[in-house]
Amino acid sequence: MLAMDQGVVEEWLSEFKTLPDSAISTYAASLKDKGSLIPALYKVIRENYSDLLEPVCHQLFEFYRSGVPQLQRFTLQFLPELLWSLLSVSAARDPHTSGCIEALLLGIYNLEIVDKDGQSKILSFTIPSLSKPTVYHEPSAIGSMALTEGALADHGLRRVVYSGPHLQRENFTAQNRFEVLTFLLLCYNAALSYMTPTSLQSLCQLSSRVSICGYPRQQMRRYKGISTRLTVTSEFLVQLITGIHYALSNGEVDLGSKALDDVLYRAQLELFPEALLVGNAIKSSLHSAALKSNNKEGARSIQVEITPTASRISRNAVTSLSIRGHRWKRHDAVDLGSPDELMDISEVDEGVWPGAAGHDMTPPTITISNSTTTLNLGAKAMKKCRLGGRSSKDKESGPLTTGRAASENAELSVKRLTLTSSQSVPRAGALTSLTRTASAVFSRSFEHVASSNPAPTSNHAASEAGRYSCSLQEEGMGYLSPTPNHTQRSPSISIPLGSDL
Amino acid sequence: MTARKSGSRLETEIERCRSEGQWDKIPELVRQLSAKLISNDDLGELLLGESKLQMYLKENPIKQGSSPRGPRQKLVEVRKHLTAALDRGNLKADYLQEASLLMAKICYIEGEYKDALGHYNRVSLEDMQLAGAPVYRLSMIAEAYATKGLCLEKVPASSPSLSNKNSGSPLTNRTPAEREQEIITCYEKSGDIALLYLQEAEKALSAGIQNRSPKPGPTAQDLELGYFLETGLQRAHVIHFKNGNLTQGVGRFREILRAVETRTTQNLRMTIARQLAEILLRGMCEQSYWSPLEDPPTVSPLDNPTQQGHTYSKNYTLSRRPRVYSGENLFCPQENTEEALLLLLISESMANRDAVLSRIPEHNNDRIISLQSASVVYDLLTIALGRRGQYEMLSECLERAMKFAFEEFHLWYQLALSLMAAGKSARAVKVLKECIRLKPDDPTIPLLAVKLCIGPLHWLDEGEKFGKMVIEMGEKAAEFRAKGYLAIGLVYSLKATDASLRSTQEEYQRKALGAFQRAQSLSPTDHLAAFYLALQLAVSRQIPEALGYVRQALQLQGDDVHSLHLLALLLSAQKHYHDALNIIEMALSEYPENFNLLYTKVKLEAMCRGPEEALLTCKHMLQIWKSFYNLTNPSDSGRGSSLLDRAIADRRQLNAMTLPDFSDPDTGSVHATSIAASRVEQALSEVASSLQSSAPKHGPLHPWMTLAQIWLHAAEVYIGMSKPAEATACTQEAANLFPTSHNVLYMRGQIAELRGNTDDAKRWYEEALSINPTHVKTMQRLGLILHQLQRYSLSEKVLRDAVQVNSTAHDVWNCLGEVLQAQGNAAAATECFLTALELEASSPILPFTIIPRAL
């Protein structure tokens, strides 16, 4: 260590001690201007045996204990370096244990796990729910949600604890080491925006080293420190990944992506699902990020572009929404009750329906639909539309779709059952050709239905329902043994057609 | 349209067409209009010019970032119409303004930015009224602001024409910062008015649908934004981010998102919600966050300090603003993860709605687009929820992603991992199978599956299959090959413990040993390989060899708790009880809260230092238990909150137990029948445990199980001290938790024996066996009692069964020898005694199998 660095550190040590309480906030603000201090402090921490280490650790703890945010962040920026120092010493089973670093880290931990009144601190957050209005949405606009166990159980905001309460710790043991370190990283991550590039780099290095030491990859990275394997926990890796994610998007691309790779490598070897999950997600989101970050300049900036607002999905593709709307119409038509009830079913699959019914009819002309417009207004609006009369087109299409939809419904519910029991493994094989023709016809005819603002008036409902049940059987049979003359067997389709034309 | 419309009706119709962008109908309406009144001609010109301009833009849309086009033939005609309208000066003031705005728009399209600015200055854009303006005019004003912003960006700052005297332009002599401020203000105003326009237009539209005359009116088209409105809505935040002004950018995003959504803004909202979520997750932290309803901090680390001079402050107010979500009890996020999560859930619901379901080739592209936009959302959701440990919820979200997942490895794999993290092991294994099918070369996936099969599921046959997959990959599996051998070794080792036939047992032990040796030679620096090899050797009672490997393991990983524990047990098998106790104490200094170590300590202390010390340790354990579980979370974290979820999670935790069946030598916890028995305990105790809402989330053991075990250990110590009353009290504590546990019944039998009540003891033992028919300790005691009752053949039967279950239980062999001797079968008895003697020489104080075996 150079004499100059030593001088800087010693000056820093003595300056704070003589500081009157009133001057602390100005002092805190001025810290960042001391250019050579921070590198010198890094050196002190890295050289484990320096005489200065103990007073430095002590002063860093004083900073943290002062409660002044800037001073606390000043201490926090050294956290990755301190962690590495601690871990490498304990792994090397060095007799010169770095007692003062341990004391500093435990000190911060014990300060952070309690609140102002000395009660155990519990970190919690609210899981938002789409079923409650928020500043960004109205529940009615979202439509119904999938009826999962969770959704059914908590129809509201839910407050969950993600860390704490923690026990006070007097010393590090193999058992509590990672518990304490994970919590410290959580504190560090909460202040990530205030960390200097050097600190982020140090975090990335820490992550790489913790992950690869003692493994074959160590040679690849040419790291020549300790070569014993360090035990880690999955939660610790997840916290490291959180920090790496920030570093990656804020200038530390090279070190960050290396660190992410190394942590993932270790998570694979340890078979840690949590770390793999989050790490994979970050890797994949970097490829297809919604934002482009301006990485080249190493600047902490995020770039966005003007994106086209029109939907990029073509209108005649069958989507969850279009298929959902389709069902609404049908269920309203037969007055089965709330359209939402069957939403879950309708989302499961595209409509594979017995293809025969529509084949020998001329497909109705397609006006590029406003289907989505009307559908989006929701079931309520659609009921209103219905009062406004019907076009000649719906008369031919109404019953047709009713019949078809019914069979689809039967078919789908069967499908759904099999799907859930077989873990939703999609099968490509035999059904594809049928599916293709079927869905092509289906989507087109659906388009038509939707575009003509249809649906029978209420006094039609009864007869509709009759047809509904009858065609359900017919179509069901048709599916089991498809015959070319199928439509002739289905009076529910031809009769209303004739009357209208 | 034969019937001529009355004047006002005609005007309404024109207004509607302009609002809804139905430009193709305008010429016909203008014809009707002119036929009515000659003075309408100027208005007609304006309308024709506008409709032609809009049609032109529809046919030749301007692309973002494209260069100006120069004069166009088609636009000449438009310009003629507008000039005609303007020149005669007969138009109402409003219409004059509109004509000027249209002129400016043409100027922009043709690249005449200064002219365009001149027009805007003349009509004094800022003074145009928003209140009471027809819907179409809102759109015009919004476009005008956007166009003005575009022009200002294009015109160099020091351009002389800007200091044009008669324009009275305030643009003269401005600093770059002021110019930037004006540009951004233009865009933000444009965006706000555009949102207002869209809301109003949609309102008018739905009103129109309700009131429309019965004739089949043409259905309204989707409103399209077009280049100018798109720019107006988005350019402001683009500039903010380009300037490194994150706080302003985030603020603008939030303003747009808080405006009530319209059909047309859905896609924009989805994009922006996703972008904002991403910024919150990767560019912000808890300390730098501010909530959407708070004012942004004046100094924020988020703003790029190197790009000085881009200080923007919002300084305009509009007389009408877009409607925002409002009402009572609106949820407003208070933390960056909360906000990110809310935004992502909204995006997810939209992405899900757009999931392209049809698989016909023509829709390939659509499918890819919908998949991509959904994957981004799901990845971000994973980051947000993973960070907060909410794997239960994450697995439910990812389950919804399955409609996109056909043949998509990433989505399947993430689902599998989330199920695994949420503890839904059985489903996780099934999903992992699909992952293996999609990516057969990745050794991690089958290894994850083995981990679950060995651990929580105890599906050993399945586990064997997965393990073999890894081994069959050979060299390709690289570093994972050793892990594969380790995995299959563990499967065999557990199978050996489960096996009831001696020959099968030995076969599996041999196989396990082989696999561990292979793993160890492939990865000599892996302490786990050395450790499991040592454990397997220990189980087959090759004590010196086992000691060698456990030392090796400890050299590689000095503070591994299981290696230390094994070392202690091995030392106890060699009857070095004091050394063993020293090791345990050393291990406990590193793992003070490890109950497994403490159980062994109790046993060793009773042996070396007398029962008083052991009782002190039991008391200490109770204290640890209390401090550990008293601190449980007030609201259940890490798991679902629903009752159903909780029940599932509890069951999972209980199934996951590899807890030592403490009093049962060598038949470890994982013996199939003892699992069955402990399931009975679980079922019966579930009611009890569900009353306690806050079960701790960590730790492999159910806390109540641990507590019962501590009491039973204490009872055993008291029995050793011949204190039946205290032992009964301890047993009663355990019985309160698990009244039908075979361990409790066994302990009661022992107490009865201690009291000299043989009949009671026999009854208790029989009850214990009816719950767990392979509980060797009970069988041994029962055999002994039957022997005392001189029912030799029944006793022999029971003891032979016990030996069959566990061939290394030396006291059973001993009892068997005595029974055989009493029956006069001296030769067989001798053999039994010899076996017992031999086994006793290598018998540890607690069975080796109390050390958990997991990958």
Q: Does A92 touch chain B (CB under 8 A)?
A: no
Which residue in the block uniquely carries the two structure tokens 């501010």? B290
Instruction: Name which of B352, B386, B644 is nearest A320 (Cβ-Cβ).
Output: B352
Residue B349: its chain A contacts at CB < 8 A? 130, 142-143, 145
Chain B CA closest to residue A73: B287
Note whether B294 and B309 are within 8 A (CB): no
pLDDT above 90 (res A272): yes
Dump pLDDT digits (tens) for B470-486: 999 988 888 899 999 99
Alpha-carbon distance of B530 to A7, in angstroms, equals 50
Listed residue (B695, B697, B638, B381) closest to A162, CA to CA:
B638
Note whether B356 and B366 are within 8 A (CB): yes
Q: How confident is the model at residue A58 (pLDDT cuts 50, 70, 90)?
A: very high
The pLDDT assigned to B21 comes to 79
Chain B CA closest to residue A191: B287
Alpha-carbon distance of B12 to A501, in angstroms, equals 35
Q: Does B384 touch chain A (CB under 8 A)?
A: no
Residue A49: helix, strand or coil by DSSP? Answer: coil
Residue A23 structure tokens: 């001057």
Q: Does B212 touch chain A (CB under 8 A)?
A: yes
Q: Does B285 touch chain A (CB under 8 A)?
A: yes
The half-sphere exposure of B470 on its side-chain side, counting CA atoms within 13 A, is: 27
Chain B CA closest to residue A122: B633
Residue B227: its chain A contacts at CB < 8 A? none
Listed residue (B387, B161, B853, B204) closest to A192, CA to CA:
B387
Q: Is A300–B214 a contact, with Cβ atoms under 8 angstroms apart?
A: no
Q: The domain B627-850 is classified under which CATH number: 3.30.450.40, 1.25.40.10, 3.10.20.30, 2.70.50.60?
A: 1.25.40.10
Alpha-carbon distance of B628 to A167, in angstroms, equals 8
Domain with CATH 1.25.40.10 in chain B: 627-850
Chain B CA closest to residue A451: B219
Dump pLDDT digits (tens) for B225-239: 888 999 999 999 999
Give A 266-295 residues with CB within 8 A of chain B.
268-269, 271, 273-274, 276-278, 280-282, 284-285, 288-291
The pLDDT assigned to A443 comes to 42
Measured in whole angstroms, the distance separating CA B139 from the mean position of its chain's CA atoms is 42
Average pLDDT estimate for B144-169: 68
Alpha-carbon distance of A290 to B374, in angstroms, equals 11
Alpha-carbon distance of B841 to A213, in angstroms, equals 41
Q: Is A317–B855 a contact, with Cβ atoms under 8 angstroms apart?
A: no
Q: Does A29 touch chain B (CB under 8 A)?
A: no
Alpha-carbon distance of A355 to A369, in angstroms, equals 23
The secondary structure of A92-116, three-state, reads CCCCCCCHHHHHHHHHHHHHHCECC
The amino acid that residue B824 corresponds to is G
pLDDT above 80 (res A117): yes
The pLDDT assigned to A135 comes to 93
pLDDT above 90 (res B561): yes
Q: Does A310 touch chain B (CB under 8 A)?
A: yes
Q: How many CB pairs under 8 A join A and B?
A: 394
Alpha-carbon gap: A6 to the closest alpha carbon of chain B (Å): 30
- DSSP code, position B161: G
CA distances from A470 to A343, A402, A490 (A): 23, 11, 9
Q: Does A382 touch chain B (CB under 8 A)?
A: no
Instruction: Name which of B325, B451, B635 is nearest A135 (Cβ-Cβ).
Output: B325
The pLDDT assigned to B38 comes to 62
pLDDT above 60 (res B336): yes
Chain A CA closest to residue B293: A135
Alpha-carbon gap: A306 to the closest alpha carbon of chain B (Å): 6
Residue A134: helix, strand or coil by DSSP? Answer: strand
Alpha-carbon distance of A403 to A397, in angstroms, equals 10
Dump pLDDT digits (tens) for B416-467: 999 999 999 999 999 999 999 999 999 999 999 999 999 888 899 999 999 9
The pLDDT assigned to B591 comes to 92
Give B 722-781 residues with CB within 8 A of chain A.
none
ipTM at complex level: 0.87
pLDDT above 60 (res B676): no
Residue from A149, A271, A420, A444 to probe the interface with B (highest B Cβ count within 10 Å): A271
Dump pLDDT digits (tens) for A445-484: 444 444 444 444 444 444 444 343 333 333 433 343 334 4
The pLDDT assigned to B235 comes to 92
Alpha-carbon gap: A1 to the closest alpha carbon of chain B (Å): 32
Give B 88-127 residues with CB within 8 A of chain A.
none
Residue A136: its chain B contacts at CB < 8 A? 257-258, 273, 325, 342-343, 346
Chain B CA closest to residue A243: B282
Q: Does B215 touch chain A (CB under 8 A)?
A: no
Residue from A193, A230, A340 to probe the interface with B (highest B Cβ count within 10 Å): A193
Domain extents in chain A: 320-500
pLDDT above 50 (res A188): yes
Stretch among A274-288, A394-408, B356-370, B551-565 having the lowest mean pLDDT: A394-408
For the whole model, what pTM was predicted?
A: 0.80
Q: How confident is the model at residue B73 (pLDDT cuts 50, 70, 90)?
A: confident
**For the residues of B741-784, what is the DSSP string, one character each?**
-HHHHHHHHHHHHHTT-HHHHHHHHHHHHHH-TT-HHHHHHHHH
Residue from B260, B363, B391, B436 to probe the interface with A (highest A Cβ count within 10 Å): B363
Average pLDDT estimate for B323-337: 90
The secondary structure of B96-133, three-state, reads HHHHHHHHHHHHHHCCCHHHHHHHHHHHCHHHCCCCCC
Note whether B579 and B569 are within 8 A (CB): no
The pLDDT assigned to B481 comes to 92
Listed residue (B191, B457, B136, B491) closest to B314, CA to CA:
B191
Stretch among A178-192, A232-246, B391-405, B683-697 having the lowest mean pLDDT: B683-697
The pLDDT assigned to B289 comes to 93
Residue from A73, A237, A309 to probe the interface with B (highest B Cβ count within 10 Å): A309
The pLDDT assigned to A116 comes to 86
Dump pLDDT digits (tens) for A64-100: 999 899 999 999 999 999 999 998 888 777 666 678 8
Instruction: Name which of A150, A164, A282 is nearest B645 (Cβ-Cβ).
Output: A150
Chain A CA closest to residue B631: A165
What CATH number was assigned to the domain covering residues B7-156+174-209+223-239? 1.25.40
Alpha-carbon gap: B650 to the closest alpha carbon of chain A (Å): 16
Residue from B150, B153, B206, B209 to probe the interface with A (highest A Cβ count within 10 Å): B209
Residue from A301, A323, A368, A386 to probe the interface with B (highest B Cβ count within 10 Å): A301
Average pLDDT estimate for A38-64: 89
Q: Is B271–A385 a contact, with Cβ atoms under 8 angstroms apart?
A: no
Q: Does B383 touch chain A (CB under 8 A)?
A: yes
Give B 451-470 residues with CB within 8 A of chain A.
451
For chain B, state the CA radius of gyration. Answer: 40
Alpha-carbon gap: B615 to the closest alpha carbon of chain A (Å): 24
Dump pLDDT digits (tens) for A399-422: 444 444 444 444 444 444 333 333
Alpha-carbon gap: A339 to the closest alpha carbon of chain B (Å): 16
The pLDDT assigned to B309 comes to 60
Dump pLDDT digits (tens) for B157-209: 655 444 343 444 444 556 778 888 899 999 999 999 999 999 998 888 877 76
Q: Is A229–B557 a contact, with Cβ atoms under 8 angstroms apart?
A: yes
Chain B CA closest to residue A431: B359
Instruction: Name which of A193, A304, A306 is nearest B285 (Cβ-Cβ).
Output: A193
Mean pLDDT of chain B: 83
In terms of pLDDT, which residue wins out, A419 or B549?
Answer: B549
Q: In terms of DSSP bridges, do strands A302-303 and A158-163 run parallel, antiparallel, or are they unpaired?
A: unpaired
Alpha-carbon gap: B807 to the closest alpha carbon of chain A (Å): 35
Q: Is A291–B234 a contact, with Cβ atoms under 8 angstroms apart?
A: no
The half-sphere exposure of B60 on its side-chain side, counting CA atoms within 13 A, is: 12
pLDDT above 80 (res A319): no
Dump pLDDT digits (tens) for B250-309: 999 999 999 999 888 888 898 899 999 999 998 889 999 999 998 888 878 887 655 656
Residue A320: its chain B contacts at CB < 8 A? 352-355, 357, 403
